[in-house]
């Protein structure tokens, strides 16, 4: 019976993770963040540059990437961040970083590009073949599509959460524009109706949206949506429940069980899940293939998500208490068993 429900998936890739190094190591570090990734079935993750200091110069990015290479249990590729003060760094960063992250709207961290001329400079200086990922909300999505069209180059939209945004991206794709997008599990499985229950634990950017927005994301899950990305954004409970609560929620360890639940409910096929969580992210970001790397999941296992036993340093989840169908049993990474039956077995070599 149990064996009948075991299925082997490729190692998943999450293109949107905050690992908090440097400067936020009390929230997460490369070791804890990649342990959480493996426990969640992700063997490749892309780390965001909104650290303290942010990864906006070659020296800062390179130091963090080297540290990641030494302290991570799975593959970590760090984005470079766009900053108006360091536009001259972009060609060097463009050689080695996995992509450029541009924050067009207000969120956690120091990075933001507001002026059109600065945006233009970023697009002029970043290599044409290297990914650009945008934090763009509302009308900023239209600006990003305009830049993709004007420069005829790929642009990836992070955490798309609103009906109008996903419909605009669908329209752009219909016109043949080179745009892609990711959607997070929290925008698929939570809505603004959960805010009274969750309080600040339900606060992130983009904020949780209406039921109509959530329905629109699901309506595009088999077409317009390219990737499921977690936007794993850990902050401690003390920070989240205190004054000036920062936006962001963790998600690495809950994304696959939630998406498997959607498969069990017939909202998408397992093949589509693998496209959204492995093949498409690897293709869009040109991520290297990993030999002998796979994730065995039990499709039938029903359980309730809890905060207990999480590997993320922040130790909580906005999905705690939710019932899911599907569990990660065994993760193999380059020929080594790195996670089995709830335990991380990986070592730093
Ligand atoms: C992210 C963070 O905490 O770094 N927070 C969030 O609410 N999503 C920043 C971001 O991804 O915009
Ligand atoms: Zn963002
Ligand atoms: Zn983020
Ligand atoms: Zn269980």
CATH number of the domain where residue 334 is located: 3.20.20.140
**Cα 333 to averaged position of ligand 4 atoms, centre (Å):** 22
- Nearest bound ligand to CA 297? 4
Of residues 3 and 229, more confidence is placed in 229
Closest ligand 1 atom number to CA of residue 248: 7
Peptide bond before 256: cis, by omega within 30 degrees of 0? no
* pLDDT higher than 70, residue 64: yes
| Each residue's pLDDT tens digit, 176-195 | 999 999 999 999 999 999 99
Question: For position 346, what pLDDT does the model report?
Answer: 76
Residue 349 lies in a domain: no
**Lining residues, ligand 1, CB within 6 Å:** 18, 50, 107-109, 135, 204-205, 231, 233, 247-248
| Each residue's pLDDT tens digit, 182-230 | 999 999 999 999 999 999 999 999 999 999 999 999 999 999 999 999 9
| Each residue's pLDDT tens digit, 132-173 | 999 999 999 999 999 999 999 999 999 999 999 999 999 999
**Cα 7 to averaged position of ligand 1 atoms, centre (Å):** 33
Site to substitute for ligand 1 among 51, 108, 203, most atoms within 8 A of C-beta: 108
Residue 69 lies in a domain: yes
- Nearest bound ligand to CA 47? 3
| Each residue's pLDDT tens digit, 65-122 | 999 999 999 999 999 999 999 999 999 999 999 999 999 999 898 899 999 999 999 9
Residue located nearest, by CA, to atom 12 of ligand 1: 107
DSSP 142-186: HHHHHHHHHHT--EEE-S---HHHHHHHHHHHHTT--EEEEE-HH
**Cα 41 to averaged position of ligand 2 atoms, centre (Å):** 22
Residue 46 lies in a domain: yes
* pLDDT higher than 50, residue 1: no
**Residues flanking ion ligand 4, Cβ below 5 Å:** 303
Residue 225 lies in a domain: yes
* pLDDT higher than 90, residue 5: no
User: Residue 336 is inside which H or E element, if any?
Assistant: strand 336-340
**Cα 27 to averaged position of ligand 1 atoms, centre (Å):** 13
Domain count, the chain: 1
| Domain span at 282 | 6-344
**Cα 154 to averaged position of ligand 4 atoms, centre (Å):** 40
Residue 1 lies in a domain: no
Distance between first and last Cα of the chain: 37
**Cα 17 to averaged position of ligand 3 atoms, centre (Å):** 6
- Nearest bound ligand to CA 301? 4
- Nearest bound ligand to CA 187? 1
Q: Are 44 and 282 in contact (CB under 8 A)?
A: yes
Residue 54 lies in a domain: yes
Residue 42 lies in a domain: yes
- In this prediction the pTM is 0.97
Exposed, middle or buried, 291 (CB in 10 Å: 0-12/13-18/19+)? exposed
């Amino acid at each position: 019976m149990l064996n009948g429900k075991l299925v082997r998936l490729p190692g998943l890739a999450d293109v949107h993770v905050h690992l908090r190094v440097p400067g936020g190591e009390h929230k997460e570090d490369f070791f804890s963040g990649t342990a959480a990734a493996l426990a969640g079935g992700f063997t490749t993750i892309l780390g965001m540059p909104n650290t303290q200091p942010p990864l906006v110069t070659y020296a800062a990015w390179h130091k963090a990437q080297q540290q990641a290479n030494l302290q991570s249990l799975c593959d970590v590729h760090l984005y470079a961040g766009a900053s108006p003060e360091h536009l001259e760094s972009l060609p060097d960063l463009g050689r080695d970083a996995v992509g450029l992250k541009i924050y067009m709207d207000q969120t956690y961290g120091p990075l933001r590009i507001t002026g059109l001329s600065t945006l233009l400079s970023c697009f002029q200086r970043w290599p044409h073949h290297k990914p650009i990922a945008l934090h763009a909300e509302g009308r900023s999505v239209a600006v990003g599509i305009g830049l993709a069209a004007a420069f005829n180059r790929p642009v990836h939209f992070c955490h798309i959460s609103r009906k109008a945004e996903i419909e605009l991206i669908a329209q752009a794709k219909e016109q043949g524009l080179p745009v892609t997008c990711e959607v997070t599990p929290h925008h698929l499985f939570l809505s603004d109706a959960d805010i009274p229950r969750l309080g600040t634990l339900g606060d992130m950017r983009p904020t949780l949206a209406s039921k109509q927005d959530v329905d629109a994301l699901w309506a595009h899950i088999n077409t317009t949506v390219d990737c499921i990305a977690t936007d794993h954004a850990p902050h401690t409970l003390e920070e989240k429940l205190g004054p000036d609560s920062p936006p962001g929620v963790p998600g690495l360890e809950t994304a696959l069980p939630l998406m498997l639940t959607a498969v069990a409910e017939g909202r998408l096929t397992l093949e589509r899940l693998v496209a959204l969580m492995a093949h498409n992210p690897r293709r869009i970001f040109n991520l290297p293939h990993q030999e002998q790397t796979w994730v065995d999941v039990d499709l039938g296992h029903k359980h309730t998500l809890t905060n207990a036993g999480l590997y993320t340093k922040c130790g909580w989840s906005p999905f705690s208490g939710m019932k899911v169908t599907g569990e990660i049993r065994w993760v193999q990474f380059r020929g080594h068993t790195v996670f089995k039956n709830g335990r991380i077995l990986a070592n730093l070599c």
